[in-house]
Amino acid sequence: MRSLSNILFAWLGMIDFIVPLIFAVAAGNKGFCNRYCGRGQLFTVLGKKAKCSRNKQAPKWISSKIFRYGFLAFFLTMFGNMVFQTWLVGSGAASLKEAIKLLWTFRVPWGWAYTGGFVADWIAQFSFGFYSLMLTSTIIGIVVMVLYKPRTWCTFCPMGTMTQGICQMKKTDTAS
């Protein structure tokens, strides 16, 4: 059971990070969002089937360009910071921090999920950082799912914003 909950499984989350971009770049569509994204499906199941959503219209600013791109910029900054922390640990300039940070602020000790020693510390550091990012975004997604429509998170999801931007660029390229 302990091995199944190992923090290193956070690396699998990179699939959800890379595959939507591959779909957008290669096929010019949001096929991943529409068919395969586990998080999108989770919000549909919880919100629609389990009726955990109030199903109310979200405020307009949530889907505004400025908010979506602002949130994307914030998310990418946090991602960059996480990669930097990983690099610091890899280069020996910092030591491994076995903690999950919720909402980029609250430290949640999670040492029980990592027994240590069998991978390099930077690999574990990336896992803790990436898990923090995924857990935080899932919690935000659940909150907006409950308050508004089931897939409100998808209107400002950084991956959705990036793939949409790529698809639009590809359409413009094809049209010109």
Q: Smaller CB distance to ligand SF4: residue 97 or 170?
A: 170
CA atoms within 13 A on the CB side of 3: 1
Q: Smaller CB distance to ligand SF4: residue 144 or 154?
A: 154
In whole angstroms, how close is the CB of 94 to ligand SF4 at the nearest point? 31
In whole angstroms, how close is the CB of 174 to ligand SF4 at the nearest point? 22
**CB 10, CB 131: distance < 8 Å:** yes
- DSSP code string of 101-169: EETTTEEEE-GGG---SSS-HHHHHHHHHHHHHHHHHHHHHHHHHHHS-TTTHHHH-HHHHHHHHHHHH
Which chain residues interact with ligand SF4 by CB under 6 A? 20, 33, 37, 39-40, 153-154, 157, 159-160
In whole angstroms, how close is the CB of 153 to ligand SF4 at the nearest point? 6
Q: Smaller CB distance to ligand SF4: residue 99 or 162?
A: 162
In whole angstroms, how close is the CB of 36 to ligand SF4 at the nearest point? 8
Q: Smaller CB distance to ligand SF4: residue 70 or 116?
A: 70
CA-closest candidate to residue 79, choices 152, 22, 162: 162
